Amino acid sequence: LFCISQISNLTGEMGPDFSAKTTVNSLTSQQLVRIHQLFRQAKFDDPSGNCLSPAGEYNLRLGIIKELHPDLVATHASSPQVFEGHPFIVEAGVSIGGKDVKQGLNIFRFANRIPLLFEQGADVITRTALKRINWSIYKINQQQDKIGVFVSIVSTKIPFKGTGKEYIGDDITEIADAVKSALKQCCIQLKSKIVKKLQAREQQDRKRNLNKYIPDVARTIMETLGELADESPPKRPRFDKEDEELLEKINSEEVTEMTFRDCLTQHVEQVDYEMALEYAMQSGVSEEPREAIY
């Protein structure tokens, strides 16, 4: 209905000498130029996509997990778009890691839910993944990581190239932009997960390094305090009451090297917890991160 009303408005802008029943042969050159200008300026909404049958983001994600068993996976489905009057939808998924996955980009292409197996090098999906996506800014190593790239294009007219219909041409700007946008959305989802994993790994390394030096630090503290406790009272410098009590506990072996080890271990745990809590507050996270459920 919206398109019909828009066409009626465009017809009205042509002037009183023009109507919907005007034949093409009767149009003047000025009217043809005016029609061309009006259609270039007119904005039409994208189609609803009800006539298309995409696989669905849930099924795409489920299929990736079932076949590759990846460590991380992200999916995205674009809204219906149009090229040359034909609606299309791009569904994309990107996975990291997995079973029997080679290092680098592993690209899987689909057109109307049918896998494309040949002529991969000239395909719009392959060219976009290789040349138009900067994987490094999403913390993904294009050469070393095991990357699975899944793109499914659904349309009433797939712009195949060649008689074999084995690949989709790279000359349709609307499709190329939609594929790039869908892959970027997947990469943005993965980046947040990768950053969290890297931060958790750094936190574990920092905690491991601190725990490694606890025995040496505890031994050094105990030796220093033991020397102070063994000194005779006249030579011993004056200490506060708490320090005196500590030295007396060392003399009575109420405080030992194991005591310092336990205290330092508890302190490392407490600092680690406080840093994690501070990060959560700064990030606006009130509870443990959870995987999105599809």
Quick: pLDDT tens for 52-87. 888 888 999 999 999 999 999 999 999 888 888 888
Give the residue, 29 or 20, on which the prediction is more confident. Answer: 29
Quick: pLDDT tens for 209-225. 777 878 888 888 887 87
Q: Which domains does the chain have, with CATH numbers?
A: 1-41 (no CATH), 57-190 (3.30.230.10), 194-283 (no CATH)
Contacts of 256 (CB under 8 A, 6+ apart): 222
Contacts of 100 (CB under 8 A, 6+ apart): 68
Helices (H), 151-285: 173-230, 241-251, 257-283
Per-residue pLDDT at 293: 46
Quick: pLDDT tens for 255-286. 788 888 888 888 877 776 666 666 555 555 44
Per-residue pLDDT at 40: 75
Per-residue pLDDT at 208: 79
CA separation for the pair 77, 92 (Å, rounded): 6
pLDDT at residue 198 tops 90:
no
Per-residue pLDDT at 231: 66
pTM score of the predicted model: 0.64
Closest of 192, 224, 185, 158 to residue 57, by C-alpha:
185
**Would you say 2 and 45 are in contact if contact means Cβ atoms under 8 Å apart?**
yes
The DSSP secondary-structure symbol of 158 reads -
The DSSP secondary-structure symbol of 99 reads T
CA separation for the pair 177, 184 (Å, rounded): 11
**Would you say 265 and 230 are in contact if contact means Cβ atoms under 8 Å apart?**
no
**Would you say 92 and 109 are in contact if contact means Cβ atoms under 8 Å apart?**
no
Closest of 198, 89, 91 to residue 138, by C-alpha:
198
The amino acid occupying position 13 is E
